[in-house]
Amino acid sequence: MPEELRELLPDGFLTDLITATSDDGEPSLSDDEVFAAVLLSILAGGDTTVDLIAQLVTRMLDGDRELWRQAEADRSLLDGLIDEVVDPRRPDATRHLRFGRGACSCTGSALARAETRHAIEALLDGLPTARLVPGHEVRRMFSTAIQSVLDGLVVAWDVPEPT
């Protein structure tokens, strides 16, 4: 790739894929391989992360919204809550298989966690009074080792009076 074009590329995953070179200076990936990697990331990282966010919101708003209120006051709790939702069944929630293991591990797990943390922070900032609407209990459509798809999530919140 010409140097003047390379300078226009922003830092990030896509740029790393496009500009990666092997020892002989040749591009590591062909255009088709870059396309396949981007497509795989979009497919692998879309619904999986949306489901994780929805599950965490459900867990935090459940009951008397204790976790929601705690996280609103202390955002550092969010990483631990994400681990718990990723695998609530293990005594040590950080030792889970949801993102795979070894050669079969997820290359996007850090991104999925970061996206989830940012999404919840945005909700805590923008909709601090969010609550689950009674009578619209969340049902799980299906659940696998890596995904747990919710049927729906009905949430209400207070709109502040205009000042």
The footprint of ligand HEM (CB under 6 A) covers: 40-41, 44-45, 48-49, 52, 98-100, 104, 106-108, 111-112, 146
Q: Name residues whose C-beta falls within 8 Å of residue 73's C-beta, 6 or more positions apart in sequence.
A: none
Q: Which is nearer to ligand HEM, 41 or 65 (CB)?
A: 41
Minimum distance from residue 156 beta carbon to ligand HEM (Å): 26
Whether the Cβ atoms of residue 155 and residue 133 lie closer than 8 Å to each other: yes
Point out the residue whose Cβ comes nearest to ligand HEM: 108
Buried b (16+ CB within 10 A) or exposed e, 113-152: bebbbebbeebbeeeeebebeeeeebeeeeeeeeebebee
Minimum distance from residue 55 beta carbon to ligand HEM (Å): 9
Minimum distance from residue 28 beta carbon to ligand HEM (Å): 15
Q: Which is nearer to ligand HEM, 34 or 146 (CB)?
A: 146
